[in-house]
Structure 1
């Protein structure tokens, strides 16, 4: 059971209702994590959704965004985000086996994706400045400077969501990943 009570989408009013309406239009429903955030801090939810819009219109593919979000969520131990981004990753074209390999930090068979996973995991697990060779490895497989900025943005967005869901113990309303 979640620690914070969320207002149901059909009972929301004011700023929360406006945010929920946009989510419902885009996703068909208001997921539990968004409902809790919208209830407690609609401006924080709006900020996260705005950052996701920037990611969606940026140069990083949806599959790469989901790779980043899934790898970080697994390391954070956020069962909610692992389930959500496994489902969205599948919708973005990642196979169940690839999703499993990303979660485990294993090779996926896609050299570019594997460099991305190693980079993201290294960044999450090692404090301090990122080694030059890690950035060069991303560039060597074709990631531009702008894409690398968007990798950082994706990490920032999912880190906030991971932290909130871990605090809230948000009830997972996505299929459990295979």
Structure 2
């Protein structure tokens, strides 16, 4: 059971309800993460805005690979469950690719560079060395895309920490970190 109450839609602040309506319109459901964060309209607005902006950067497969790698690294069962589901059902990644992502890699060489770099950002708390940056750039990622990878790590760390603190009730098929 979640350690922080997950308000129902009806119990959300009035400023959060239109934002949650937009989430439901896009996903067909309002995941517990958004209901949890909705208790703070400012945080919900920021999360949705950054998520929307990042949705226009790296391709969905790369974003999901990064999300899975970060969720495994932070031990977030909620986010690992969500992103494993989205990776398979929205991004078309197979079980072998998802397993590689959980291990901090990808079966695709270019994507592997992004996932390895993302895990290095998490592991070093951003204090990566020059070889980490060189490797991701050698794989064909531009300076802007390196920053986009970091931004994807950051938004995922935020949601991972939020869900780890709250122990948010998982509303997707459950996947356990470290399993």
| TM-score normalised by length of structure 1 | 0.91
In the TM superposition, structure 1's runs of 4+ consecutive aligned residues that sit over 6 Å from their partners are none
- How much does 1:118 deviate? 1.5
Whichever structure has more helix as a proportion of its residues is 1
Deviations 1:81-114 (A, max 9, x none): 00011111121121111001110235x3311122
Aligned to 1:163: 161
Aligned to 1:27: 27
- Measure, in 2, the Cα distance between the counterparts of 1:134 and 1:95: 27
| TM-score normalised by length of structure 2 | 0.91
Deviations 1:35-60 (A, max 9, x none): 01102x121011011001111112x1
- Measure, in 2, the Cα distance between the counterparts of 1:128 and 1:11: 38
Count matched residues: 175
- Measure, in 2, the Cα distance between the counterparts of 1:98 and 1:71: 11
Aligned to 2:4: 4
- How much does 1:12 deviate? 3.7
Aligned to 1:126: 124
Deviates more, 1:1-10 or 1:41-50: 1-10
- Measure, in 2, the Cα distance between the counterparts of 1:21 and 1:128: 35
Aligned to 1:147: 145
- Aligned-residue CA RMSD in angstroms? 1.7
- How much does 1:7 deviate? 2.2
Is 2:13–2:38's contact at 8 Å kept on the other side of the alignment?
no
Alpha-carbon distance change, 43 to 133 in structure 1, aligned in 2, over 3 angstroms: same
